[in-house]
Amino acid sequence: DRRQRQMCIRDSPCSADLLPIGPDRSYGHPRDDDTTGITEVLSDIIDTCKFIPLETASDKSLVGHISKILKYKDKFYIATDNKRILVFNTDGSFSHRIDRLGRGPQEYADLADFDIADDRIIVLSHHKIVVYTLDGAHVSSTPFDFNGLNIKVVGDNYLLRSNKAVSYTHLRAHE
């Protein structure tokens, strides 16, 4: 049931993101595929919402522009500013960060996207996939000759969407 899978993580109040709709002043978000201007009521798609304030007491845990959030096991992994992945415990306390920006063999030039599977963080960068442990230790790097936009681990394969085509490309995951 999709109502049981939803969770809201914020480092600021959610009220700015909610849009009042309807005569009853209920709140909702516009649907991406909606051209009618009608929004979906949040209570129709979310059963419960838990606000988790994130610890941002040090420069290492400051959250910038969030491009992706994944929950894996007992942690939240947040891609921020296309540069790093911040890792927070489920209570919002800061755990660590993965910040390997660079051009070396164990680094990524940018953080286009990431996924997590089998206790590995898979980072999609410019012409390269870099795999790290959950603590940020380098496991492997796989170069390729196109620019990937999105990555998803599917079984033993990486599913990539590139800027050259609308289709997805399969690369064998080998660690």
- Give yes or no for a contact between 54 and 11, defined as CB atoms under 8 angstroms apart: yes
pLDDT (tens place) for every residue of the chain, 175 residues total: 333 333 344 443 444 344 444 444 444 444 455 555 556 676 777 777 788 889 988 888 888 889 999 999 999 999 998 899 999 999 999 999 999 999 999 999 999 999 999 999 999 998 899 999 999 999 999 988 888 888 988 888 888 887 665 444 455 554 4
Per-residue model confidence (pLDDT) at position 85: 96
Integer Cα distance of 163 and 43 in angstroms: 36
* Assigned token pair, 1: 């049931």
pLDDT score recorded for residue 109: 92
Q: What's the whole-model pTM score? A: 0.71
At residue 79, the pLDDT reads: 94
